Amino acid sequence: MLKGKTAVVTGSTSGIGLGIARGLAAQGASVMLNGFGDALEIAQMCDGLARVSGAKAAHHSADMSQPSEAAQLIRDTQAKFGGVDILVNNAGIQHVAPIEEFPAEKWDQILAVNLSSSFHTIRAALTGMKKHGWGRIINVASAHGLVGSVQKAAYVAAKHGLVGLTKVVALETAATPVTCNAVCPGWVLTPLVQKQIDAISAREKIPVSAARHKLLAEKQPSLEFATPEQLGGVVVFLCSEAAAQIRGASISVDGGWTAR
């Protein structure tokens, strides 16, 4: 379905982003990975994506907390692959603390990565998408883009902002062949979430399996994690012709979290 298209997926060397990159590659898209990690492992990821897609795959080390590097990621992909047709803004970081104890530098960093980087990549990619007559912008927000939770001031603020940015871009592109939507996962078993599970286990002196159940039971009625592969499937759908008139939507993949 996506043969001849090029996708940029930020924060895609592990977890949700890698699942999305694999989903897009499986549909024939060339993929530019972005993120940190071991160089050899990342090279192997690129080789694997290229084999699956029959197209190209590469990696860009842009630090998404830096506006100039976020924009450069788009320009370098355009130069290397001839354009950016699909932009998935997935990069994200987390810090948990009561607001009166929340370090100001952590607030700035989380807003930079989780929100501002998407502005900079969208700004850099949109003109090319319009010129080529097709584009898909998909922002990976969160259930926390729709509801709040304690001790996550910066993350919740950033993800709510990302949902708002999605709506504005969707409205500004409404009469074009470019769409913009958000995907809002609940708990997905990624390294970031595993750290929270481990913290619960250590703090409450309970087995990791019990900590996992406790985390799910608090928010996610299905008592099951969403998977990176499922999120990849949602992103692929949003790139399809069937989704051409889905614009400015926030699609929840959260096991019922926000249905309450």
Catalytic residue numbers read 155
Bin 151: left if φ > 0, else alpha if -120 < ψ < 50, else beta: left
In sequence order, what are the beta bridge partners of 16? none
State the burial class of residue 76 (Cβ atoms within 10 Å of its Cβ: 0-12, 13-18, 19+). middle
User: Encoding tokens for residue 220?
Assistant: 């996610």
Nearest CA to 180 out of 83, 111, 245, 252 is that of: 245
Nearest CA to 126 out of 162, 79, 178, 60 is that of: 178
Residue 244 DSSP one-character state:
T
Q: Quote the Cα angle for 234-153-140, to 5°.
A: 15
Alpha-carbon span 184 to 251, nearest angstrom = 6
